[in-house]
Structure 1
Amino acid sequence: MSEQSTWQVTGMTCGHCAASVSEEIREIPGVEDVQVTVETGAVVVTSAAPLERSAVDAAVAEAGYTLV
């Protein structure tokens, strides 16, 4: 059964920002889907198991943004 978690990311302003964040989060093992809403900074992640905040934080930082 899949898990869904919502994270808040600051600094995104466009579709390219969303694509960068999505691409990095998709590299976390077990991630099945990533939906980013640039206007609110919401990132909804569907994964095979609950994600560690540290893994999401590292992926978001790699994309150049900040996890709230």
Structure 2
Amino acid sequence: MRGGRKNLKRAVEEEFLTLQKGQSIMQVLDLRGSNIIQVRDAKGETSLAIFPAKFQKSMRMKTDLIWQSCCG
């Protein structure tokens, strides 16, 4: 495992997640190709989101993954 992904996993496990204003928790429903993903929010509404290309090598997207979203 490369150092970047290893450090990212360690930071996620050690830090307690607190949501700031404008952030929400989303569930990945479908990978639409490239960096576009279909997500569902806590209210059950689905939408398309863009996963930043700079994080594609350090974090792998899978369906049913829960992740934190900003600017929702």
Fold match, TM over 0.5? no
Q: Which has the bigger relative contact order, CA under 8 A and spacing at least 6? A: 1
Which has a greater percent of helix? 1
Q: Whose radius of gyration is greater, 1 or 2?
A: 2
- What TM-score does the superposition give when structure 1 sets the normalisation length? 0.30
